[in-house]
Every structure is written in structure tokens, then in C-alpha cells.
A and B are shown apart, each in its own frame.
Chain A
């Protein structure tokens, strides 16, 4: 038998200390979109649930937005940049595949030589990143991690394609995750269905995103409830005790359908940030939760169920304790 190696001693658990967000300056209304493609404000509101979204400008790159959201999360959590040892940027809309964005984001935040990498699990990316960070902390690879979900989807969206241009927007959200004796990030339930890899895709470097909305809608509304229940069970929380539900903001009708099939308590606070942000893929969950915390809808100590799902197809969900 070959020799075994020694391992680091990790923390008992991980906990989120603070969230931050960045919303691009430019607000794009449904009326503005309906001047370009054949649609109406009423149609978009009733069929998708979006009233407005943000489009990032030239000086609001994925890195710029990541830095802004992460800076706010650091300030909120009271953690110093120099204490961060791991930076994860979940994104599927980087301007180029090389280099990854996380090292530059860390450099601009004056974080010195952290472990830094990008992660592409599309709209489930933030939940994947949060799980990777929490597991790194539990194994001793990290003590303080920044998890960022950031997207500039407008770079990859055909603004003349009515099927996608009304839906997607830009933005970034971030969380500071730290070692803790009292676990505040529950076990992840994740998975994928690569048979549906073409349901949402960009065919090549000069192509725009295409989406089979019907296939994605059906998958999301019929296949994910069990995983959400399982994430609660693994965290030792009954789904009826969950205080805050933050599903990926893909379409308000998916959110409403999930509410009908999952057995939440009547006064559960539900993220509906899509109304103001559109679908921002990996950024949608931290954007929505930051806003809910700022409005007092998600309070310190609340249990929140996060559920990301999207291109891949991928999904991931976990229960967290709100900072």
C-alpha cells in the first residue's frame, strides 16, 4: 500500500458575512425595447414579469462590475481585502476565455495573491461558487473567500431577437464567505442534464445566445422541486421553515410555478428582482438577496433557500443563514 498524505485541518463550517451588488447605471424600459423589436410593455410584464433591466456601458465590464460588487460585500461584512485568500468569479459572459477574470478582480481589490479562478455553471454559477468556497473552507484550503456572480449578457445577446433581448440584463453580486464554528452554508444539491446542452447556448465566438425557452421552462418547473426539498433536508431545515426563497431570476412565471409546487410557509419572502433586473444569470441570486437584505425582507439569522439553474443544463441549491 502506498503512503497516505497529511491533510490540513479545516473549519467546522462556513458562513456568509455580507453581500454586495452592482447594478449598471443605464435602465432600459420595456417601452425602449418595444421601439426596436415587435413587443409591448404589457406583453413583457405579463409573459416574463420584467418591467426594466440594466445594460452595462463600455466602462462597466464584467471585471468592473465584479470589483464594485465585491468591494461593497467587503465593506458590508467588515472583512479587509488583505484577509481574503480565495476569489471565485462565476460568469458565463467573460469577454474572452483567457485569462480568467478572478485574478484581475483580486488585484484591483488589492487582495494579495489569493487562489483565484472563474467558474462557468451559467445561471447556477453563484450556487456552485458558494459551494466550492464553503467546501474549501471546510477542508482548510481557504479561510476567507469572495464569491462573485457577474454577467454582461448584453455582449452575447442579439438586440433584434425578440426571444432573448427582452429577458437578459447585466449586473454583479458578491458574498464574503468565512470559516465559522456554526455552519451557515448548508450542503449543496447540484446536478446537470447535458442531454439538453443546446437548450441555451452560444454557438461560436461571433454568435449570439439562443434559447429554447419552452424546454428550459418545462425542466425548471418539473425537475427542480425535489432538489430544493433535498437541500433543505440535508441542512436540517424543513422547507416549511424557510424564511426567504431566492430562486434564479429567469422568468417570474417559473418563480410562481415553483411557489405552487414547493411547500413553503405562507409568509415566505420571495425574490422577485427580475422585475427590475431582468435575467442576469449567475448574478441574479446575489443581486436579489442583497436587495432583500437592504429592504429588510431578509433579516440577520433568517434561513434562505438559494436555487440556481440554467444553461448546461445545470442546477445547484443550498440553504444559507442570512448575514
Chain B
């Protein structure tokens, strides 16, 4: 089980790789679309990478509810096996 810190840094790595977001900018309160300029298709790529890295499943309807970096972190925390 990854800790919150591990999830945050793992997610930051994915965000940097997929969408070019600087790790320092990937703080929990940031909105993917409003603050980090991540579009809907990049969100899909991020979701796929998160699924591979943390062993969670993110269905499309759940993905639509993930708006901030913090939302993603708590989703992974709740659903990781």
C-alpha cells in the first residue's frame, strides 16, 4: 500500500510525463483543467498510467468526478489494493 506521500509523488511523476506539469505545481488544491491545463484526453492517459502504477481501476464515470490533484490522491488511497 502506497502512503499519501508516495501517491502524491507518483502522481506528480505521471503528470510531468503525460502533460508536462512541473512537480512543484502538482499540489492537491490544483484543478487539472483550470490550473494545470490538462485536457480531457490527457486525463484519460493519466488515468491509464495511474491504473498501471497503483493497481486501481478508474471507470469513466468516476474519472469525470476527479477534478483536482487532491481528488485523484484520495481516489487512489481509497481504492488501492
Which B residue's beta carbon lies closest to that of A220? B44
Encode contact with B along A36-73: 1 for CB under 8 Å, 0 otherwise.
00000000000100000000000000000000000000
The count of chain B contact residues (Cβ–Cβ below 8 Å) is 11
Is A217 in contact with chain B by the CB < 8 A criterion? yes
Q: Report B60-75 residues with CB < 8 Å from chain A CB.
A: 60, 63-64
Contact, CB under 8 Å: B40 / A218:
no
Q: Is B40 a contact of A221 with CB atoms below 8 Å?
A: no
7 interchain residue pairs of minimum CB distance = A218-B44, A214-B40, A217-B41, A217-B44, A215-B60, A214-B44, A47-B39
Do A214 and B63 contact each other (CB < 8 Å), given the known contacts A47-B39, A251-B41, A253-B41? Answer: yes
Q: Are A213 and B41 in contact (CB under 8 A)?
A: yes
- Secondary structure type dominating chain A contacts: helix
- Chain B residue at minimal CB-CB distance from A212: B60
User: Mostly helix, strand, loop or mixed at chain B's interface?
Assistant: helix
CA A213 to CA B41, docked complex, whole Å:
8
A82 within 8 A of B: no
Q: Which residues of the partner chain A approach B47 to less than 8 Å between Cβ atoms?
A: 218
A189 to B47, alpha carbons, bound, how many Å? Answer: 27
How far, in whole Å, are A2 and B31 apart by their CA atoms in the complex? 69
Asked whether A222 is an interface residue with its Cβ less than 8 Å from the other chain, the reply is yes
Which chain A residues border B45 with CB–CB below 8 Å?
Answer: 221, 257
Interface residues of A (CB under 8 A from B): 47, 212-215, 217-218, 221-222, 251, 253, 257
Which residues B28-81 have CB closer than 8 A to chain A?
39-41, 43-45, 47-48, 60, 63-64
A221/B39 in contact, CB under 8 A: no
Contact A214 B48 (CB under 8 A): no
A215 to chain B: which residues have CB within 8 Å?
Answer: 60
Chain B residues in the interface with A (C-beta under 8 A): 39-41, 43-45, 47-48, 60, 63-64
Question: What is the distance, in angstroms, from B62's C-beta to the closest C-beta of chain A?
Answer: 12
Please, how many angstroms separate the alpha-carbon atoms of A213 and B40 in the complex?
8
Residues of A within 8 A of B41 (CB): 47, 213-214, 217, 251, 253
7 contacts between A and B (CB under 8 A): A47-B39, A214-B44, A214-B63, A214-B64, A215-B60, A218-B44, A221-B44
Chain A: CB-nearest residue to B41: A217
A215 and B64 alpha carbons, distance in the complex (Å): 11
- Which residues does chain A contribute within 8 Å of B40, judged by CB atoms? 213-214
B39 A218 Cβ-Cβ under 8 A: no
Question: Which residues on B sit within 8 Å (CB–CB) of A47?
Answer: 39, 41
Compute how far the CA of A53 lies from the CA of B11 in the bound complex, rounded to whole angstroms.
37
On chain B, the residues within 8 Å of A214 by CB distance are 40-41, 43-44, 60, 63-64
| Nearest CB in chain B: distance from A200 CB, A | 14
**Residue of A at shortest CB range from B61?**
A215
Interchain CA distance A303-B15 in the complex, whole Å: 37
A251 CA to B60 CA in the complex, in Å?
Answer: 19
B57 to chain A, nearest CB (A): 12
Compute how far the CA of A218 lies from the CA of B58 in the bound complex, rounded to whole angstroms.
Answer: 11
Nearest-neighbor residue (CB-CB) of A43 within chain B: B39
Residue of A nearest to B51 (CB): A222
Cα distance A214–B63 in the bound complex, in angstroms: 10
Which residues from A are CB-within-8-Å of B64?
214
Beyond A218-B44, A221-B44, A257-B45, 15 additional pairs, beta carbon < 8 A: A47-B41, A213-B40, A213-B41, A214-B41, A214-B43, A214-B44, A214-B63, A214-B64, A215-B60, A217-B44, A218-B47, A218-B48, A218-B60, A251-B41, A253-B41
